[in-house]
Amino acid sequence: MIRKAITIGVVLFTAISLNISAQCKVDNKYFQAGEELTYDLYFKWGLVNTKAGVSTLKTVSEKYNGRDGYKMSLVAKSSGMVDKVFSLNDTLSSYTTKDLTPLAFKKDAEEGKEHTIENMTYTYNSAGGVSVHTKRVKNGELRFDETINVNSCVYDMVSVVFYARTLDYSTMKKGDETRVDFITGKKKAYMVIEHAGIENVKANDGKTYSCIKLVLSVLNANQLAFEDKEEAMKVYITNDNNRMPVRLDSKLKMGSTRAMLKSYKGVRHAVSTK
């Protein structure tokens, strides 16, 4: 009887663990390791709107804690006159499994005179939750070192962009929204991914792409009304099987940036242009 109870318990525990593991899995048909996108970076601050440097979005195969997965990195670096006025040297990296379950996030950002290092790690437990350890050091000073417990899949600023590329937009129309759990700093929030319609975007490679415009906004966990959300980023992805980001608009503490596609390689499918 005891042995039977133990056996049943093991089976149930295994089933629960498999279910938890499965709930964050995404069927990725759109990008692959080896994809590398290069952008011209523009900076806007007040009335100043000028070319500011270069940016890259790169996906590689990489192990994290012994698990096969992806490392997706967004790098932005200023140059020229802008670099002298307001230097920017940011690297944001997200580590996921091959089915896009988030494992870790790292940020190393130099913006003006401020230097921020941020690290997040995800631990999935048998109760169906996720523990996110998040730590930030700014200008050499520890700002926080905390653990946030969440009862569903949760994303960071990089992994949420790749997750957004995998949504089924064929069933969505302009104005439709998808909400996912999101960690910003030391707080749990929601990332609202809004389908903002189809637009043609002329990139800096001279080609015009039909794009799905996405508006990514943050909604605090204690807010219930979508009108209270704060826009964080606009992403224009190709309306084809790659969902390749052609344009990315992001807000900074001072001003904003725009990245316009200049070149690409290693994409998974043939690219459609107008």
Confidence band (pLDDT; 50, 70, 90) for 7? very low
Q: What is the C-alpha separation between 125 and 236, in angstroms, rounded?
A: 35
Secondary structure of the chain as H, E, C letters: CHHHHHHHHHHHHHHHHHHHHHHCCCCCCCCCCCCEEEEEEEEEECCEEEEEEEEEEEEEECCECCECEEEEEEEEEECHHHHHHCCEEEEEEEEEECCCCEEEEEEEEEECCEEEEEEEEEEECCCCCEEEEEEEEECCEEEEEEEEEECCCEECCCHHHHHHHCCCHHHCCCCCEEEEEEEECCEEEEEEEEEEEEEEEECCCCCEEEEEEEEEEEEECCCCCHHHCEEEEEEEEECCCCCCEEEEEEECCCCEEEEEEEEEECCCCCCCCC
Domain presence at residue 270:
no
Domain presence at residue 271:
no
Domain presence at residue 149:
yes
pLDDT of the residue at 19:
43
Domain presence at residue 199:
yes
Domain presence at residue 54:
yes
pLDDT in tens, 35-93: 999 999 998 877 677 898 999 999 999 999 999 999 999 999 989 877 887 788 999 99
Domain presence at residue 98:
yes
Domain presence at residue 274:
no
pLDDT of the residue at 201:
98
Domain presence at residue 90:
yes
Contact 234, 253 (CB under 8 A): no
pLDDT of the residue at 240:
96
Confidence band (pLDDT; 50, 70, 90) for 2? very low
**Domain limits for position 99:** 2-265
pLDDT in tens, 148-180: 999 889 999 999 999 999 999 999 999 999 999
Q: Above 50 in pLDDT, residue 101? A: yes
Write down the residue that tokens 């759990």 correspond to: 181
Q: Above 80 in pLDDT, residue 11? A: no
Q: What is the mean pLDDT of residues 195-206?
A: 97
Mean pLDDT highest for which of 2-6, 74-78, 143-147? 143-147
pLDDT of the residue at 199:
97
Q: Above 50 in pLDDT, residue 14? A: no
pLDDT in tens, 217-262: 998 766 554 455 688 899 999 999 999 999 999 877 677 889 999 9
Number of domains in the chain: 1
Write down the residue that tokens 């000028």 correspond to: 50
pTM of the complete model: 0.87
Q: What is the mean pLDDT of residues 23-38?
A: 94
